[in-house]
Chain A
Amino acid sequence: MPELAKAVRAPKAPGRPNKFMAYLRKYWFIYALAIQGFLFMLVFNYGPMYGIQLAFKDYKMNLGVWGSPWVGLEHYRRLFSDPVFLQAFKNTVLINVYNLIFGFTFNVFLALMINEIQFRRLKSVVQTAVYLPYFLSWVIFAGLVQVFLAAPTPGDVGGAVNQMLAALGMETVDFLKNPAMFRSIVVITGIIKTAGYSTIIYLAAISGVNPALYESAAIDGANRLDMMLHITLPRILPSVAVMFILSVSQIFLSNFDQIYNLYNNFVLSTGDVLSTYIYRISLGGGGTEFELSTAANFLLNAMGLVAVVGTNKFVEKMDVMGIF
């Protein structure tokens, strides 16, 4: 960059740009490293955002996004009078609340239990097994669910559970098409897939406990249960609190991948969530509600952002890093 340097050093150049160029020259390599990521971010993350105006416009293909007329909050009026949207909203919140009640508690409990295994080899075998499902996709998981729960059809034996029921002379159950069972299936498969992964942060916190604490507690006559309740548990409470706050802040988010692979038309009443709704009414399933889909997505993002920025303040004060 010698030519550039000369140009910058030219005596007539005003003070500020000179300083600026000198700064750029000092750190040019750092900026160069950031530039390709910056470009990808600009194009693929910020690029689409001009399209958000569709949430307030009546989209006409021939006029394009910019030329289409504004309609104000019309789409939001339609959204909130759409029973399918309201149902999806309710389902999303319900599934997340169940996940909090059952999934979250289970994760903490599993971490405590894994920590209590006294045989090292067994402990690592258990950890290997429980981390594994995290890496398998929801497509594979949905396949496993079918392999176990599918109902027999003519020419097909059905899932393992139904095979067993049939062998015992009982009536087979169509688990996957029963709206009353769908949320339970979602919560349980969610636990199996992510519980192992969630224990990691707790186990790391536990590994920081000073062993001397346990020794002195043992001398004082505490048993293992006492130690777990009064030494281990208090140590992980900050992490538990942080994870809890983060989960609460995501109460309106839904796992598209999970629901989309598990649900079917029979369980829409209990299984449809916001992300599948947004997809189904616009591109999937032949819908053409482009503006409605964008409006719903914008609403969700805005709510999610407020929740996350708010909770990040809490989280930063605790012993886990904030994300910003």
Chain B
Amino acid sequence: MDSNNKQPRRSMRQALGFNFYDVFVLVFCIGFALVCFYPLWYVLIASVTPYEEFVKGGLMLWPSGGIDLQYYKTIFSNSSLVNSMWISVSKTVIGTVLSLLVTSTMAYAVSKSYVKGMKLLNVLVVFNLFFSGGLIPQYLLYMDLGLIRNYWVMVLPGALNITYFIIMRNYFSYSVPSELEEAARIDGCNDISVFFRVIIPLSKPMLAAVGLFIAVIQWNDYYQYMVFIASKPLLQPFAWVLRRILTDQTMMSQVRNGAMSLGAQLPPPMALRMATIICAMLPIMCVYPFLQKHFAKGMMLGAVKE
């Protein structure tokens, strides 16, 4: 999986040499890796290529004709786009901190399955993974709570993240060595000091990883806005603006006309789309090295018995 995992058959490689089998494996894997990566590269390069070069087409392996940031200038001069980035950043930060706090403490409590009621609580939580009231019942409840057309509807309802609840619960149950906890208790620790002095320090890497995953989900989320806010431009998250730029002609022409008022020529829609895609991807690409480091481990926490 990771680079620290020993390949079992290293010694045999030399003996077997390089043959047709290897060639097939390499072509297949590199081919699929390119299918995954090249589109992103293409969009990045195309978004900084001057228009005259871009319409010529081609593979866009490298920026030819110089780097031209005019599409990004157009985006950042549009006040509703800049505002939506702030909304996205703020809801990502608040949502992640809240979600991590609520989900991890509950996951830890439920992992203590010898405490009465915790097994029932576990079933009650996991049940929600498969069963929900649905769209309209949610809408009616949020209406009663005053959450419709309210910023907090993008943060509060998802605070208890059930997928990561399961992963963290399994982590606390199986990956934190119970000997450490017992030793701490013998040294006179009670539940509180065990939690703060043993469990939290031990789980920091896991908490960081889960926090990143939740942050990515929050950054990408537009659904809560679309369904429960719908028409308050000041609260639009960036993912929703991107969606509108991709699908909504009026939004596109509004952004393009903004470029005209800057004195630039009317930018082509396709190029603007690409620049917006890159803006939406950028934060994720920045944290991707960390995500990937924890990815494999994180997914396995909830999956395979030790």
Partner-B contacts on A (CB < 8 A): 23, 27, 29-31, 33-34, 36-38, 40-41, 43-52, 54, 65, 110, 113-114, 116-118, 120, 122, 124-133, 135-137, 139-140, 142-144, 146-148, 150, 155-160, 163-164, 167, 192, 195-197, 200-201, 203-205, 207, 209-211, 214-215, 218, 223-225, 256-257, 261, 264, 278-279, 282-284, 290-291, 293-294, 297-298, 301-302, 304-305, 308, 319-321, 323-324
Taken residue by residue from 281 to 306, chain B's Cβ proximity to chain A (1 for < 8 Å, 0 otherwise) reads as 10010001001100110011011110
- Distance in angstroms between the alpha carbons of A291 and B304 in the assembled complex: 41
- Distance in angstroms between the alpha carbons of A131 and B303 in the assembled complex: 18
Give me the 5 closest cross-chain CB pairs, A-B, nearest first.
Answer: A51-B137, A37-B106, A48-B133, A211-B8, A297-B134
Partner-A contacts on B (CB < 8 A): 1-3, 5, 7-9, 11-13, 15-16, 21-22, 25-26, 28-30, 32-37, 39-40, 42-43, 46, 54-55, 57, 101-103, 105-110, 112, 115-118, 121-126, 128-141, 145, 156-160, 165-166, 170, 190-192, 195, 216, 219-223, 226-227, 239, 242-243, 246-247, 268-270, 273-274, 276-277, 280-281, 284, 288, 291-292, 295-296, 299-300, 302-305
Is the pair A143, B246 in contact by a Cβ cutoff of 8 Å? yes
A114's nearest neighbour on chain B, judged by CB, is B29
Chain A's nearest CB lies how many Å from the CB of B249? 10
Is the pair A146, B246 in contact by a Cβ cutoff of 8 Å? yes
Chain B's nearest CB lies how many Å from the CB of A155? 7
Is the pair A204, B304 in contact by a Cβ cutoff of 8 Å? yes
- Distance in angstroms between the alpha carbons of A214 and B7 in the assembled complex: 11
B133's nearest neighbour on chain A, judged by CB, is A48
A204's nearest neighbour on chain B, judged by CB, is B300
- Chain A residues with Cβ below 8 Å from B37 are 129, 132
Contacts A40-B102, A44-B156, A120-B7 hold; do A323 and B126 have CB atoms under 8 A apart?
yes
Chain B's nearest CB lies how many Å from the CB of A310? 12
- Distance in angstroms between the alpha carbons of A308 and B130 in the assembled complex: 8
B1's nearest neighbour on chain A, judged by CB, is A203
Contacts A33-B106, A49-B133 hold; do A132 and B36 have CB atoms under 8 A apart?
yes
Question: Which DSSP category, helix, strand, loop or mixed, fits chain B's interface?
Answer: helix
Is the pair A128, B273 in contact by a Cβ cutoff of 8 Å? no
Is the pair B134, A140 in contact by a Cβ cutoff of 8 Å? no
- Distance in angstroms between the alpha carbons of A162 and B33 in the assembled complex: 23
Is the pair B141, A156 in contact by a Cβ cutoff of 8 Å? no
Contacts A48-B134, A132-B37, A301-B132 hold; do A143 and B242 have CB atoms under 8 A apart?
yes
Chain A's nearest CB lies how many Å from the CB of B288? 7
- Chain A residues with Cβ below 8 Å from B157 are 44
Query: Which of B13, B21, B118 interacts with A34 by CB under 8 Å?
Result: B118
- Distance in angstroms between the alpha carbons of A52 and B133 in the assembled complex: 6
Contacts A27-B115, A215-B12 hold; do A51 and B302 have CB atoms under 8 A apart?
no
Chain B's nearest CB lies how many Å from the CB of A312? 10
Contacts A126-B30, A147-B270 hold; do A34 and B106 have CB atoms under 8 A apart?
yes
Is the pair B126, A200 in contact by a Cβ cutoff of 8 Å? no
Is the pair B21, A48 in contact by a Cβ cutoff of 8 Å? no
Query: Which of B2, B109, B304 interacts with A201 by CB under 8 Å?
Result: B304
Query: Which of A49, A160, A319 interacts with B137 by CB under 8 Å?
Result: A49
Chain B's nearest CB lies how many Å from the CB of A318? 10
| 7 examples of A-B residue contacts, CB within 8 angstroms | A33-B105, A37-B160, A51-B141, A144-B40, A209-B8, A284-B227, A320-B305
- Chain B residues with Cβ below 8 Å from A261 are 243
- Chain B residues with Cβ below 8 Å from A142 are 243, 246
B239's nearest neighbour on chain A, judged by CB, is A139
Is the pair B39, A156 in contact by a Cβ cutoff of 8 Å? no
Is the pair A192, B36 in contact by a Cβ cutoff of 8 Å? yes
- Chain B residues with Cβ below 8 Å from A120 are 3, 7
- Distance in angstroms between the alpha carbons of A74 and B249 in the assembled complex: 40
Is the pair A156, B191 in contact by a Cβ cutoff of 8 Å? no
- Chain A residues with Cβ below 8 Å from B122 are 324
- Distance in angstroms between the alpha carbons of A130 and B291 in the assembled complex: 13
Is the pair A30, B109 in contact by a Cβ cutoff of 8 Å? yes
Is the pair A147, B26 in contact by a Cβ cutoff of 8 Å? no
- Chain B residues with Cβ below 8 Å from A321 are 170, 302-305
Query: Which of A131, A164, A283 interacts with B295 by CB under 8 Å?
Result: A131
Is the pair B126, A50 in contact by a Cβ cutoff of 8 Å? no
- Distance in angstroms between the alpha carbons of A282 and B16 in the assembled complex: 62
Could you list 7 further interchain pairs (A-B, Cβ under 8 angstroms) beyond the known A33-B106, A48-B140, A113-B28?
A30-B115, A37-B165, A147-B274, A156-B270, A215-B11, A294-B134, A297-B132
Is the pair A137, B280 in contact by a Cβ cutoff of 8 Å? yes
- Chain A residues with Cβ below 8 Å from B5 are 207
Which of A38, A45, A142, A205 has the most CB atoms of chain B within a 10 A radius of its CB? Answer: A45
Is the pair B281, A140 in contact by a Cβ cutoff of 8 Å? yes
Is the pair A48, B138 in contact by a Cβ cutoff of 8 Å? yes
Query: Which of B16, B46, B304 interacts with A319 by CB under 8 Å?
Result: B304
Is the pair A150, B7 in contact by a Cβ cutoff of 8 Å? no
Is the pair A283, B227 in contact by a Cβ cutoff of 8 Å? yes
Query: Which of A201, A298, A324 interacts with B134 by CB under 8 Å?
Result: A298
Which of B30, B140, B170, B227 has the most CB atoms of chain A within a 10 A radius of its CB? Answer: B140
B221's nearest neighbour on chain A, judged by CB, is A137
- Chain A residues with Cβ below 8 Å from B57 are 160, 163-164, 167
- Distance in angstroms between the alpha carbons of A223 and B303 in the assembled complex: 32
Chain A's nearest CB lies how many Å from the CB of B53? 12
Is the pair A36, B126 in contact by a Cβ cutoff of 8 Å? no
A156's nearest neighbour on chain B, judged by CB, is B269
